Homo-oligomer: A and B are copies of this chain.
Amino acid sequence: MADVARQAGVSVATVSKVVNGRYGVAQSTLDRVQQVISDLGYEASLGASSLRSHRTNVIGILVAEFEPFSTELLKGASSAIGATGYELLAYSGGARGAEVGWERRYLSRLGGTLIDGAIIVTPTVVDAANGIPVVAIDPHTGPSGSTPTVDADNFAGAVMATEHLIALGHRRIGHVGGRPDLESARLREAGYRSAMAAAGLPVDESLVVNGGYRAETAGQPARAMLTGPDRPTAVFAANDLSAIRTVEVAREVGLRVPEDLSVIGFDNVPESALCDPPLTTISQPLRDIGAQALRLLVDLLNEREVPTHLRLPTSLVERGSTRRLA
């Protein structure tokens, strides 16, 4: 900025006014400074300007990791940013995202200055006590407190998944659950149990295992379930990643999918359509969720009233991993 000021023969203060479109600059000065700015390709440093002004027009999206789930949300938010005038800054702390409370750390790291507001994706805790407006997507504790929340209807989706398997004639239906400390996983298991009960089917507790939502953690429990004395004919996995892993395990133990075992997932991440066979799953409108969260946050930043909780519907996507019980 000093360079610009020198070359335009003005002070940095004046350059700052031009850059920020403040009133009180003569037209001739304005033109001259703007010319120099474009000649030099000058752009204000986000770090420095935010430090002083506490307004950046940047919205942060804080994620533990860039994986299929969070990047779908990102696409949705990006498409909704349109003419809002905000820019998007997605942040992931690499290996540190594994630690509990990462969202609070990222928030204080970026929040004081760099970003005006934040969307936090599947945070473990949501204590709104951070200076800036925050919207949570699918928080682990469920919607609570004063932080607006966007999520999908996990319970209804799980009911839908289980009913689909039941409608195909399955009776022995297993469940590869998610992380039990997460609200979404609890709701999905509850939906499974509710649908089973509604159909008058008993739940064999040896067929309900903890898959931890990840491919690495789902393999062992899935194997145990599928090699047990009385294996299920169908499995509802709590998310697509563990469903895909379950299909792999089934194959490893000599079961064909869907001939010998039907598998249904949850989320409908793009990867679920790419595997073999393509996965039947429950679709969460991830892009919509991202877009809605962004709109909510923008409203919040404009000090408009916003709903405290948005719950979007899920739907069944039938592909090749489920079939009627022979």
Q: Does A113 contact B (CB under 8 A)?
A: yes
A71 to B73 alpha-carbon distance, docked (Å): 11
**Interface centre among A78, A83, A96, A113, by most B CB within 10 Å?**
A78
Task: Assess A74 versus B81: contact at CB under 8 Å? Given A43-B105, A88-B91, A270-B271.
Answer: no
Q: Can you list, as one digit per residue, whether each of A32-76 has a CB less than 8 Å from chain B (1) or not (0)?
A: 000000000111111110110000000000000111100100110
A87 to B108 alpha-carbon distance, docked (Å): 15
CB <8 Å contact, B82 and A74: no
Q: Does A21 contact B (CB under 8 A)?
A: no
CB <8 Å contact, B92 and A47: no
Residues of chain B lying within 8 A (CB to CB) of residue A88 = 66, 91-94
> Measured between C-beta atoms, what is the minimum distance from A283 to chain B in Å?
11
Q: Does A109 contact B (CB under 8 A)?
A: yes
Residues of chain B lying within 8 A (CB to CB) of residue A96 = 87
CB <8 Å contact, A41 and B108: yes
A84 to B270 alpha-carbon distance, docked (Å): 28
CB <8 Å contact, A51 and B41: no
A42 to B111 alpha-carbon distance, docked (Å): 12
Residues of chain B lying within 8 A (CB to CB) of residue A51 = 45, 47-48, 51
Contact of A77 among B47, B66, B109 (CB under 8 A): B66
Q: Does A277 contact B (CB under 8 A)?
A: no
> Measured between C-beta atoms, what is the minimum distance from A179 to chain B in Å?
20
Residues of chain B lying within 8 A (CB to CB) of residue A112 = 45, 47-48
Q: Does A140 contact B (CB under 8 A)?
A: no
A274 to B268 alpha-carbon distance, docked (Å): 10
Contact of A86 among B82, B94, B109, B274 (CB under 8 A): B94
A113 to B113 alpha-carbon distance, docked (Å): 13
Q: With A47-B110, A87-B93, A88-B92 given, name 18 new contacts (CB 8 A).
A: A41-B101, A43-B104, A43-B105, A44-B109, A45-B51, A45-B108, A46-B47, A47-B48, A47-B51, A47-B112, A47-B114, A67-B78, A71-B71, A71-B74, A82-B95, A84-B94, A88-B94, A270-B273
What are 24 A-B pairs at a CB distance below 8 A?
A: A42-B108, A43-B104, A43-B105, A43-B108, A45-B109, A45-B110, A46-B47, A46-B113, A47-B47, A65-B78, A66-B71, A66-B74, A66-B75, A78-B92, A78-B94, A81-B92, A81-B94, A82-B94, A84-B94, A86-B94, A87-B94, A270-B273, A270-B274, A273-B278
Going nearest first, the 3 A-B pairs with the smallest beta carbon separation are A270-B270, A66-B78, A47-B113
